[in-house]
Structure 1
Amino acid sequence: MTLADVNSSSPAALEETLRDKRFGMVFQPIVDLARRRVFAYEALVRPHLHSSPPALIADSARHGRLGLLGRTLREASIIGCPDHSLFINVQPDELLEHFLVQPDDPIFNHRQPVFLELTEAVPLQRLDLCAQMLQEIQARGVHVVVDDLGSGYSNLRYLADLKPRVVKLDRELITGLRPGSRRFTLVRALVGLCNELGAMVVAECIETAEELSAVMDAGCHLGQGYVLARPALPPPPIAWPLG
């Protein structure tokens, strides 16, 4: 879903959301598959006055509040999960509003590693500028995550130019994955490429024990999905489904 696909809500509802923090945060584990333990938690927003997270993001972008929303959510994420590494979603347009490079941004005060996950494609005409901003953030100890690897050429550009520490595979590669299939061969090849570039690979949206076994066989380092744990507050433990 794109920002343009979401119906507008009133400026008053947005201002109330930002002022009174009319949202909740939930956290889903990202699991170290070799060690069978939590590697980090991804912070996910659950708005109260908007129909969905995309609606809140679209409304904030429409009214020029995307940077402020992002900072507010980062602060809430760190408050809600103070003792674990965090994956925090960021819209590419937030990089252009310069909130993230401010020295007092909440991500620079978290006691554990922070991974910024780019949740939408960076327009290629702005890739150089975004890469420059991300390099500044990386130099201050924050890691970059590229989402949806395998969904298009641009993602390979991000892998080359943004130097991510972690890469998430496109969910369409994971659904129904089984050893011996052509998709399995592709996933294993992408993992090998990321290994060469020094990036860990997350298989997300794992919903069955069979998919979990397949992504492990393909060499994925990290896993995320309902079969391991659903998003919750407080941050939930994992339930390992394999013997």
Structure 2
Amino acid sequence: MTLADANSSSPAALEETLRDKRFGMVFQPIVDLARRRVFAYEALVRPHLHSSPPALIADSARHGRLGLLGRTLREASIIGCPDHALFINVQPDELLEHFLVQPDDPIFNHRQPVFLELTEAVPLQRLDLCAQMLQEIQARGVHVVVDDLGSGYSNLRYLADLKPRVVKLDRELITGLRPGSRRFTLVRALVGLCNELGAMVVAECIETAEELAAVMDAGCHLGQGYVLARPALPPPPIAWPLG
């Protein structure tokens, strides 16, 4: 734990963070690779008192405020990017607290499409319950995103059981990707599987023009990474690096 986290780990300090919104939001484009234009923006929190987003999340979970944190961040995300589709991160425990099925949740008032991205693995023993909660959300027009496909068996279960609209590939598959490699063959196969299941594929953490060209060759629908744009406020435009 850092000194900042030690100073911000009390219940009173956390309540102050949530009440006074002691954090900022930045937005990173997710790009339609075929059309070379922004498909959506991912909302990312930048805490003021905690050393990192995971530290803020862990602190909120420890003090029983994870659901309130999630709702506060969703509201801030929509305020910060009102005119674009949004990817919003959600912790599986928020689903079990029933915060996301309240009629007045901010995600149901956004004028553009909303994609909820599960940022942690759902324990398999709780997968059925989470799937039930997500079905209620999907029935109201909100899309589900599964993260880190390719990192383990459980992700394949999520692909089958959660019926996501979008899938993000594990970043380890993208770093240094080049046509003709075994990883390229795997990425292309995963894209084909997602196509069969009706899910779009995001290649994230793209840092070079070579990686961008490779994920396009592999058939990925969407891309995200520093080579296209860094997270910023206001939501930034993209810089297309290929001719």
What interval of TM-score do these two structures reach, taking the shorter chain for normalisation?
over 0.9
Percent identity between matched residues is: 99
Q: Is the 8 A contact 2:5 2:49 kept in 1?
A: no
Deviation string for 1:119-172 (max 9, x for gaps)?
000000000000000000000000000000000000000000000000000000
SS of residue matched to 1:73: helix
**CA deviation after TM superposition for structure 1 residue 8, in Å:** 7.6
Aligned residue for 2:27, secondary structure, equals: strand
Q: Which stretches in structure 2 are left out of the alignment for 5+ residues? A: none
Q: Identify if the C-alpha distance between structure 1 residues 146 and 139 changes in structure 2 by more than 3 Å, giving closer, same or farther.
A: same
- Report the Cα offset of residue 210 of structure 1: 0.1
Deviations 1:89-130 (A, max 9, x none): 000000011110000000000000000000000000000000
Contact between 2:5 and 2:51, CA under 8 Å: does it hold in 1? no
Distance 1:77 1:204 in 2: 20
Cα separation, 2, equivalents of 1:7 and 1:42 = 29
Partners of 2:165 and 2:200 within 8 A in 1: yes
Contact 2:209 2:227 in 1 (8 A): yes
TM-score, normalised by the number of residues in structure 1: 0.97
Shift of 1:2: 16
CA distance in 1, matches of 2:108, 2:16: 27
Question: Matched residues in 1 for 2:213 and 2:3: separation?
Answer: 35
Q: CA RMSD in A?
A: 2.3
Q: Any conservation in 2 of the 1:3–1:54 contact (CA below 8 Å)? A: no
Give the conservation status (yes or no) of the 8 Å contact 2:8–2:50. no
SS of the counterpart of 1:168? strand
Distance 1:62 1:108, change over 3 A: same
Per the TM alignment, residue 11 of structure 1 is displaced from its structure 2 partner at its CA by: 1.6
Helix, strand or coil: the match of 2:99? coil
Number of residue equivalences:
243
Cα 1:154–1:208 change in 2 (3 A) is same
Provide closer, same or farther for how the CA distance between residues 175 and 2 of structure 1 changes in structure 2, counting only shifts above 3 A. farther
Task: Quote how far apart the aligned CAs of 1:7 are.
Answer: 10
Aligned residue for 1:6, secondary structure, equals helix
Cα distance in structure 1, aligned partners of 2:230 and 2:80: 16
Q: Once the two structures are superposed, what CA deviation does each residue of 1:199-241 show, in whole Å capped at 9, x if it has no partner? A: 0000000000000000000000000000000000000000000
C-alpha distance in 2, partners of 1:70/1:241?
35
Moved more, 73-82 or 3-12: 3-12
- Report runs of 4+ in structure 1 exceeding 3 Å deviation: 1-8
Give the SS at the match of 2:103: coil
User: What is the Cα deviation at residue 12 of structure 1?
Assistant: 2.0
Q: Distance in 1 between matches of 2:213 and 2:45?
A: 29
Question: CA 1:2 to 1:160, structure 2 compared with 1: closer, same or farther past 3 Å?
Answer: farther
- Matched-pair contact (CA < 8 Å) for 2:29–2:41: yes
Give how far 1:176 is off.
Answer: 0.1
Residues 24-74 of structure 1 show CA distances to partners (whole Å, capped at 9, x for unaligned) of 000000000000000000000000011100000000000000000000000
CA shift in 2, pair 1:5/1:165, >3 Å: farther
SS at match of 1:132: helix
Q: CA deviation at 1:4?
A: 17
Distance 1:2 1:127 in 2: 33
User: Matched residue of 2:191: which SS?
Assistant: helix
Segments of 5+ residues of structure 1 without an aligned counterpart are none
TM-score scaled by length of structure 2: 0.97
**Do the aligned partners of 2:115 and 2:145 also contact (CA within 8 Å) in 1?**
yes
Are the aligned partners of 1:3 and 1:58 in contact in 2 as well (CA < 8 Å)? no
